[in-house]
Structure 1
Amino acid sequence: MEIALRPEIHSYSGGLGILAGDTARSCADLELPVVFVSLASRAGYLRQEIAPDGSQVGYDDPWEPSEWATPLDAMIAVSVEGRSVWIRPWLYVVACPLGHLVPVLLLDTDLDQNAPEDRSITDHLYGGDDVYRLKQEVVLGVGGVRTLQALGFSIRTYHLNEGHAALLTLELLRRRRRSGPNGLEHEVDHVRDVCVFTTHTPVEAGHDRFSYEHVRRVLGDDFIAPDEIRPLAGEDRLNMTRLALNLSGYVNGVARRHAETTQRMFPGYRIAAITNGVHAPTWTHAGFAELYQGILPNWGHEPELLVRADQLPDEEVWAAHQAAKHELLDEVRRRTGISMDQNAPLIGFARRMTGYKRPDLLFSDMQRLRSLAAKFPFQVVVAGKAHPRDTQGQQIIRDVHARMRQLSPEIRMAFLPNYDMALARTLVAGTDVWLNTPLPPLEASGTSGMKAALNGVLNLSVLDGWWIEACVEGVTGWSIGRDGPEGAEQHGRDLYDKLEGEVLPLYYHDRAGWIRMMKQGISKIASYFNSQRMMRRYTTEAYVRP
């Protein structure tokens, strides 16, 4: 549904879109024969401003496709509520520095040929009600298959990135049934043979479900009758995740723990695990990129070479980090007017603002926080958006601002509005400690900490998602709490204990030890948790199957 191609193209909301963009960039690097399909999302997701009382104020975040993409001379139609809805693709090309190109198709219904209510289907990313979302997923899934055919692509494997595209499986099934009476079981087997499904969320609300009344109204019985869909997608409601699970021959979660959690949520399916990664050249600060280039000339194309980062000179690593931190502090001052101390440790938290990510965990004991800051002065920078319908997430933003005001001026804190791809690059490079506090087992993977590690930033995180695989205590970073959900009520206390007993003393009293951990984080995390490794695994395990 979303893909982050560049900051100016607002066709993404957060981690899922960032991962899709990194996937495209690594496909170009590895010269994989891949084409990406997403929505144009002309009105974007959300432009965030913060009101004086700390409330999120959201606006449309429009962009103009003609400024960044090329309209293709092809249109296809899908049926929505009995009307023909025409779709035109825009072409954006992802280019590898070595020359290989990967096409990205952004589907757009804002055409003169469409009725006024249909022109806006591809406007708002994750906007509108269930019917609006279902129409978008018809455009993405059904329209995506038809667009690829119209443009002459020969597709061997369809990779569904989350359940939003699951209707493409029904389009493939419908085509097989029209080609001849081979029997439903044979037709389903063929669709499974060409479909791969990656699920990204262990949160129930993240799995789209639509009433069959809406399905009949939007798709019509001429597509595939709801009674025929029910055995594949659920008896009561069309569950897009269930549909994708039943019609994909390969299914995976995005971290080992996430695959285990998904297996418990959907017993009876075989769930593999391919842990996410990030595109190293995109997220590495220029200072660190120059350092890496000096001893590892091909590091951007082969990030596994970063395993040798422990050979980097300490003083050069620290100088690169200080330059990145200086840029972040300049950005903080520009956006908020708050001046921070270059020499005091800076804790960063930047995630989607929603309940299970617990952005407010750091503020759970205000007196303990004050005592800690008196002993070891530190600073905090926070960023993140709440979905317009996530009232809990919006309340968390207000609460965080209220607590920041209560702690001022004892602790320097700043909330940076309108968190996006450009700000993320500055944040993951410029903080000293990257904080992540999800409620287990609800973190599918997470990738922001991987980006931080590329820049020598140390992770302090709850053991969930990718961090279970990456955390070597006191070597690559630090854990919060024990492995498993049973210790969640102790996470706040353990967070303060780690800061007071290990993290902040190391920063203040053992600079050589801190830099040693920075280099260990780079060598052990960045060399593995990258999208080159991820895409090599998808290619050999998911795309090329017996």
Structure 2
Amino acid sequence: MASSYNRWYHPYDINEKYTRRAAYFCMEYAIHQSLKIYSGGLGFLAGSHMRSAYDLRQNLVGIGMLWKYGYYDQERNEDQSMRPHFTQKFYSFLEDSGITVRVLVNNHPVLVKAMVLKPETFGTAPVYFLTTDVPENDHLARTITNRLYDPEPNARIAQSIVLGIGGAKVVEALGGAETYHMNEGHALPLAFHLYQEYGKKEEVRRRMVFTTHTPEKAGNEEHDIQMLHGMSFFNGLGLEEVRELTSTHGQMFNHTLVALRLSKVANGVSQLHGEVSREMWYDNEGVCEIKSITNAQNVPFWMDKQLWESQDQNKDMALQRRKAEMKRKLFYIVANQAGKLFKTEVLTIVWARRFAAYKRADLLVRDMERFLKLVNKPDMPVQVIWAGKPYPFDHNAVHVFNKLVYLSQKLDNVAVLTGYELALSRKLKQGADIWLNTPRRPREASGTSGMTAAMNGAVNFSVQDGWLPEFSRTGENSFVLPIVDTSLPDEMQDEEDYENMMNMLEQQIVPTYYRDRERWLHIVKQSMRNVVPQFDSDRMAHQYYELMYNYQMRGK
């Protein structure tokens, strides 16, 4: 075991605060623009976590998946509408770890190879990426790790088996871990592997912790328990034993609920989301304690240092010059993609995140006549940019994206950009004056994009959801909408949020930007100061050790 343990490699002495060996399981990681294995917020969060684990010298490794075709490349058709494109990716900076393990999928053996991203490459904890694309596997097995969030349910289940059981076996080959952290429920087969290793439910619970990200029951994955059993999801356990272990009595198997029953402790990803999660799940028997650890982002990676240095009270001119420079770089991208010349002195609103129905990308254009008046006012014009990747098989989301594209073609000061990955995300946050966030409350568990926007001088304008209630003071460091009655039908909530949003834009935000520059700069600087250090991922990574990894189950 000693020689195996030496493979648990970190290029630093472990900080004594963080000596417990932890393995972090996640389906996606946004670590570098060149490593295209992520889709959105979950990956951005995991990437920042790995960076802070490195910065804090934590005894942690990441376990993820090496997606052959990534998520997808967002391209355009001839009419500029969206076209998803799947291209094979190659990464010379990933190294063969020398570890290959075997899992069962549909009762057939599948080999899983681990490629390692060494810490020195991008300044992260070591991350092991799993692939089934090896010559020894048959064609079907080799396709398991083809693409992130495959639309085929059987493929998604197979991916969970590879991540959970294959990942656990890779960790064991590295010398083992004391804590196994599931970031979302995709790696749940891990629990059944641990059960077979240790033989008792309580031994599984002593080792496993769980982070839930989905504040809607409909969004928490469920599958027919017979289908999961047939696909080897339970790692060879008999169905009756699985039912007893997980307290699952019906035909449908809820992944989040089982994860809560088999973990020693869990967390929601904001204070509000923790409350929502406890209301959702505490009525079920046998669930663990659900804490709140608010998501965060890595400040050294995201924040523009020159802008931060110019937010001192006596450097307003320097701050405005730097912000204009950053806007100019974003507008080069707008010109390149859309053929439009945006102006640095014009208030620029950016809506950029994953396109999903509850995020309401098109709320701003609910009343087209009013929208046109907003953006085309001669003395106080507004520029608007949308960006984000819809799930390529979510036809409604793709339709909304394309609707905004067609609208933008009629207006010189409106643009929709493609390719929303780390590089474009950085440019959008650096170039935005207003970072617009419009989810239906309380469906946004955290929403970390607003944190990195604030780090770069963009003022959050948002529904009071996710992390915002912990940060925002409207008119002081942000602008937030009044809370609407969530018991109302969606259409009525949308109308009320829309009216509040437009009233604030027309009566407060736009006039402040143009007519009260001193107050505007005060809000920008307060936003930058208040987001650090509370929403730096160093705080988050520290809390995971303190509140989760080192947590002792009461009375056990």
Q: How much does 1:230 deviate? A: 2.6
Q: Secondary structure at the match of 2:508?
A: helix
Q: How much does 1:484 deviate? A: 5.1
Q: Partner of 1:162 in structure 2?
A: 184
389-398 vs 499-508, which moves further: 389-398
**1:287 matched to 2:306:** yes
**Quick one: which amino acid aligns to residue 238 of structure 1?**
F
Q: Secondary structure at the match of 1:474?
A: coil
Mark the CA change 1:388 to 1:498 in structure 2 (over 3 Å): closer, same or farther.
same
Q: Partner of 1:120 in structure 2?
A: 143
280-289 vs 503-512, which moves further: 280-289
Q: Partner of 1:398 in structure 2?
A: 402
Greater helix percent: which structure? 1
**1:515 matched to 2:521:** yes
**Quick one: which amino acid aligns to residue 129 of structure 2?**
L
Q: Partner of 1:379 in structure 2?
A: 383
Q: Partner of 1:369 in structure 2?
A: 371
Q: How much does 1:10 deviate? A: 1.1
Mark the CA change 1:193 to 1:501 in structure 2 (over 3 Å): closer, same or farther.
same
Mark the CA change 1:312 to 1:59 in structure 2 (over 3 Å): closer, same or farther.
farther
Q: Partner of 2:271 in structure 1?
A: 256
Distance 1:13 1:322 in 2: 29
Q: How much does 1:287 deviate? A: 2.8
Q: Partner of 1:180 in structure 2?
A: none
Distance 1:196 1:316 in 2: 46
Give the 5 Å matches for 1:494-513.
Answer: 494-513=500-519
**Quick one: which amino acid aligns to residue 392 of structure 2?**
P
Task: State the superposition RMSD in angstroms.
Answer: 1.9
Equivalent of 1:388 in 392, 397, 404: 392
Q: Partner of 2:255 in structure 1?
A: 240
Q: Is the 8 A contact 2:192 2:234 kept in 1?
A: no
Q: Is the 8 A contact 1:455 1:522 kept in 2?
A: yes
Q: Secondary structure at the match of 1:102?
A: coil
**1:464 matched to 2:487:** no
Q: Secondary structure at the match of 1:139?
A: helix
Q: Partner of 1:480 in structure 2?
A: 481
Q: Partner of 2:337 in structure 1?
A: 335
Q: Partner of 1:184 in structure 2?
A: none
Distance 1:61 1:348 in 2: 28
Q: Partner of 1:7 in structure 2?
A: 33
Q: Partner of 1:449 in structure 2?
A: 450
Q: Secondary structure at the match of 1:444?
A: coil
Q: Structure 2 regions of 5+ residues with no counterpart?
A: 1-26
Q: Partner of 2:6 in structure 1?
A: none
Distance 1:19 1:498 in 2: 30
Distance 1:40 1:81 in 2: 21
Mark the CA change 1:310 to 1:533 in structure 2 (over 3 Å): closer, same or farther.
farther
Q: Percent identity?
A: 33
Give the 5 Å matches for 1:47-446.
Answer: 47-53=73-79, 55-65=81-91, 67-95=92-120, 102-152=125-175, 154-177=176-199, 187-219=200-232, 223-231=236-244, 232=246, 234=248, 235-268=250-283, 269=287, 270-288=289-307, 291=309, 311=313, 313-375=315-377, 376-406=380-410, 408-409=411-412, 412-446=413-447
**1:524 matched to 2:530:** yes
1:314-368 deviation line (CA, Å, top 9, x unaligned): 1222122111111101111112211111111000010111110000000011111
**Quick one: which amino acid aligns to residue 480 of structure 2?**
S
TM-score, reference length from structure 1: 0.90
Q: Partner of 1:306 in structure 2?
A: none
**Quick one: which amino acid aligns to residue 22 of structure 1?**
S
Q: Secondary structure at the match of 1:35?
A: strand
1:410-445 deviation line (CA, Å, top 9, x unaligned): xx1110012111100101111110000001111000
**Quick one: which amino acid aligns to residue 68 of structure 2?**
R
Distance 2:233 2:383 in 1: 56
1:214-238 deviation line (CA, Å, top 9, x unaligned): 2122107871122222341632222
255-264 vs 470-479, which moves further: 255-264
Q: Structure 1 regions of 5+ residues with no counterpart?
A: 178-186, 293-308
Distance 1:220 1:254 in 2: 27
Mark the CA change 1:484 to 1:477 in structure 2 (over 3 Å): closer, same or farther.
farther
Distance 1:164 1:252 in 2: 16
Mark the CA change 1:404 to 1:203 in structure 2 (over 3 Å): closer, same or farther.
farther
Mark the CA change 1:221 to 1:429 in structure 2 (over 3 Å): closer, same or farther.
closer
**Quick one: which amino acid aligns to residue 280 of structure 1?**
V
Q: Is the 8 A contact 2:51 2:124 kept in 1?
A: no
Q: Secondary structure at the match of 2:340?
A: coil
Q: Is the 8 A contact 2:75 2:84 kept in 1?
A: yes
Mark the CA change 1:127 to 1:220 in structure 2 (over 3 Å): closer, same or farther.
closer
